[in-house]
Amino acid sequence: MPLAVSNSSPLIHLSMVGRISLLRRFSSICIPPAVWQEVVEQGGSRPGAAEIREARESGWLRVVDPSDKILVRLLKQELHAGEAESIALALEVRPDVLLLDETEARRVAGLYGLPVTGIIGLLIQAKREGRISSLAEEMDQACGSRAASGSRMHSTGAFLKQKEIPLNLLVPSAFPGCNGI
């Protein structure tokens, strides 16, 4: 099973639509302390907080501090703390995939050659694996969530639904090496 490093937005979005279980396709998820703080400590009773706390308690999710503090500081000049730490951590642990939804963070991760996907890619892969029955319904729910409004996820989801693009054109293979959706 593959390993993933995640930023906060995929965890929050999947929790909002009741699909955090889709992350069980990974043997382990690593998140940096800034993501833990945003999702759990500052999250209170918002979506993702309880689910991520439970995942950590079960040992399936680990909080790992990136060791390259200089890189983190550098990345924070362009990105939020969670995004910066997620990219730095991914460079250290070399996961099969880095889960990011934000456009600028994805661009920076791409500069480092990191394999990236987001909630849309996770939903497409879940459809391919038969873990969800309707991609259109999942996209409606995900793109309709308050956190997704106005985001890249919202506009990409609306575009994909409008154009009815076949799944095989979106994600040519499973996550490893896929710098796509």
Tell me the pLDDT band of 117, cut-offs 50, 70 and 90.
very high
Query: CA-to-CA distance for 147 and 39, rounded, in angstroms?
Result: 13
The model's pTM: 0.80
- Residue pair 160/170 in contact (Cβ under 8 Å)? The answer is yes
pLDDT tens digits, 87-109: 999 999 999 999 999 999 999 99
User: What does the domain layout of the chain look like in residue ranges?
Assistant: 1-181
The CATH number that domain 1-181 falls under is 3.40.50.1010
- Residue pair 108/78 in contact (Cβ under 8 Å)? The answer is yes
1 DSSP assignment = -
176 C-beta neighbours (distance < 10 Å), count: 10
Strand residues in the chain grouped as ranges (E): 3-6, 28-31, 61-63, 97-99, 116-117
For residue 154, the one-letter residue type is H
pLDDT tens digits, 31-78: 999 999 999 999 888 878 888 999 999 999 999 999 999 999 999 999
pLDDT tens digits, 150-174: 445 544 555 445 444 444 444 434 4
